[in-house]
Amino acid sequence: MSDGAPGAWPVHELNRARRTARRGGAQSTPQGEETYERLLEAALKVFLAHGYVGARVEEITRMAGVAYGTFYHHFRKKSDVIRALADRIYREIFTEATRESRPERPLTDRVLDDTLFALKAFTRRRDALRVLDDAVGADPTVAAEVLRLQQRDVDEYAKIIRSTPGYNPIGDPRVVSLLVNSLSDEVARRWIRSENCTGDLELDEPALIEFARLNTIMMLAVLSPESLGLDRRRLLELMERMCLDGSN
């Protein structure tokens, strides 16, 4: 079993998405929370086995060991389950990616670690993310939820850029955060879809370190040009010329 298997996911307190995903009458009791967890873990296994489109509620409840009607005490429909899983996946990836972002550490080290931890978090959840990507293509409501979660990550990283010592972005923190998140997300998604990604962190680590180093160099140019020995004034002048006439 890979690190991204359902059984490796921690059981933690209900977050906002869990509460809003539940049907109105579901009680937040220990038993109810345990059932909710079982349904989520069973749903992921069914999605992995049959794909999002091919998954059936009957199979999810059978694997969870609960009655068919129990599903509807916690979720309105199948798409609610994948959206709850998506919220968990994105929250865990963001948390793991920024866990070493202590302001006393050099910015270059922080950005490198953030990038490497994010790539590792994506790799651990390779199979789940592939299922989620398929669901995005099949269900507009899931696509809308993933866009919301991606924007949440952009907003949270923008706050880090604004408030954490060491960051000195060359543009609006919101724009810089969007750029950094988009770059990192696209690299990670292409990686987990590639034939080179085994899902085994020990085997994949050399490639992940190389990705992280290259990605860090590109990101530092906008997060803190001085950390790369770049002249901020000259970069701003270059950007200004680009804005004026489109030339370089």
* Alpha helices (runs of H) in 67-200, residue ranges in sequence order: 68-74, 78-97, 107-124, 126-138, 140-163, 173-193
Work out the average pLDDT over 65-82. 94
Contact 79, 142 (CB under 8 A): yes
Domain boundaries, the chain: 6-79, 82-245
CA–CA separation, 219 vs 112, rounded Å? 9
Tens digits of residue pLDDT in 169-182: 988 999 999 998 89
pLDDT of 62 reads 96
Query: 3-17, 56-70, 137-151, 206-220: which has the minimum mean pLDDT?
Result: 3-17
Q: Is 246 left (phi over 0), alpha (psi -120 to 50) or beta?
A: left
pLDDT of 106 reads 83
Q: Is the pLDDT of residue 3 over 90?
A: no
DSSP string, 4-67: TSGGGS------HHHHHHS-TT----HHHHHHHHHHHHHHHHHHHHHHHHH--HHHHHHHHTS-
Q: Is the pLDDT of residue 55 over 70?
A: yes
Contact 209, 201 (CB under 8 A): no
Residue 158, Cβ neighbours under 10 Å: how many? 20
Q: Is the pLDDT of residue 13 over 70?
A: no
CA atoms within 13 A on the CB side of 102: 3
Is the model's pTM score more than 0.85? no
CA–CA separation, 46 vs 44, rounded Å? 5
Work out the average pLDDT over 133-139. 93
CA–CA separation, 65 vs 67, rounded Å? 7
Q: Which CATH architecture has domain 6-79?
A: Orthogonal Bundle (1.10)
Work out the average pLDDT over 145-168. 91
Domain 6-79 identical in fold to domain 82-245: no
Average pLDDT, the chain: 85
Q: Which CATH architecture has domain 82-245?
A: Orthogonal Bundle (1.10)
- pLDDT class of 26 with cuts at 50, 70, 90: low
Calculate the CA 99 to chain-centre distance: 14
Furthest-apart CA atoms within the chain: distance in Å: 66
